[in-house]
Structure 1
Amino acid sequence: MEKFDAANPFGEFTKMLEQFKLPGFDVPAIMEARRKDVEALVTANQTAFQGMQSLAQKQGEMLRTTLTELQALASTGGAASPQAAELVQQTLHKALANMQQLAQAAYQSQAESYAVIQKRVEENVEELRTLMQQKK
C-alpha cells in the first residue's frame, strides 16, 4: 500500500472509485467538489481561529489598561478621594464599551466564517445544476 499523500488526500479514494466505472458518475468532478468543500472548511476554521486570536489580544490589552489605571489610582491615594465615584462610573462605562467591542469582533469573525461556508454551499448547488444539465 502506498504512503498517504497529505497534499492530495483524495488521491487514493479517487483511484478506488475510478475502478468501478459507473455510467454518468464523473469521479474527478465529484472528488474536485469534495476537495473544494474541505478547502472551504479549512478557510472557515482559519478565519474563526484568527478571530479568536484577535479577541484574546483585545482582552489582554483591555486587562493591561485597566490594571494600569487601577495601579495609578492606588499609588496616588485616589481611592479615598471624592472623585472616586466619578472614576468608578467612567471605568464602568469603559468596561461596557469594551464588552461591546468584543461582542462585535466575535460577531464579525463568525460572520466571516459563515460567509466562507455559505459560498461553498452555493458553489455546490451550482455544480449540481451543471452536472444535472450535462446528463440531459
Structure 2
Amino acid sequence: MEPKDAANPFAEFNKMLEQFKLPGFDVPAVMEARRKDVEALIAANQTALQGMQSLAQQQADMLRSTLGELQSLAAKHAAGGGVPSAQTAELVQQTLHKALADMQQLAQAAYRSQADSYAVIAKRVEENVQELKALLQKKT
C-alpha cells in the first residue's frame, strides 16, 4: 500500500474517481473545487479562531483594568474612614461607564470577526457558482 500524501489529501480520492471514467465528468476539476472548498473552510476557521483569541485577550485586559480601578477606589475609600463621598460615587459611575463602553467594543470586535469568517465562505460559494457555470458551458 502506498503511503498517504499529507500535502494532498485528495490524491487518493482523485485516483479512485479516475478509475471510473464517466463521460462529461471532469474529475480533476471536481477535485480541485473540493480542495478549494476545504481551503476556504480552513481560512474561515482560522479567521474565527484569531478573532476569538483577540476577543478573549481584550476581555482579560478590560477585566484587569476595571478590577484595578475598583480596587484603587476601594483602597481610597478604606483610607478615608469608610464614608463614601460624592467623588467616590462619581468615580464608580465613571468606571462602570468605561466597562460598558469596553463591552460595546468587544461586541463590535466579535461582529467583525464573524463578518470576516462569513466573507471567506461567501467568496468560496461565489467561486463555486462560477465554476459550475463554466463546467456547464463546456458541456454545451
Q: TM-score, normalised by structure 2?
A: 0.92
CA-CA distance at 1:85 after TM superposition: 1.7
The residue correspondences of 1:89-108 to structure 2 (distance < 5 A) are: 89-108=93-112
Percent of aligned positions that are identical: 77
Structure 1's unaligned 5+ residue stretches are none
* Runs (4+) off by over 3 Å: none
Does residue 110 in structure 1 map to residue 114 in structure 2? yes
The residue correspondences of 1:25-64 to structure 2 (distance < 5 A) are: 25-64=25-64
| Number of the residue aligned with 2:2 | 2
Tell me if structure 1 keeps the 8 A contact 2:47–2:113. yes
Structure 2's unaligned 5+ residue stretches are none
Kindly report the root-mean-square deviation, in angstroms, between the aligned alpha carbons of the 2 structures: 1.2
Does residue 86 in structure 1 map to residue 90 in structure 2? yes
Q: Distance in 1 between matches of 2:123 and 2:44?
A: 11
| Number of the residue aligned with 1:67 | 67
Q: Distance in 2 between matches of 1:86 and 1:44?
A: 44
Describe the superposition over 1:92-118 as per-residue Cα deviations: whole angstroms up to 9, x where unpaired: 211111111010000000000000000
SS in 2 for 1:6: coil
Does residue 126 in structure 1 map to residue 130 in structure 2? yes
Q: Distance in 1 between matches of 2:3 and 2:116?
A: 36
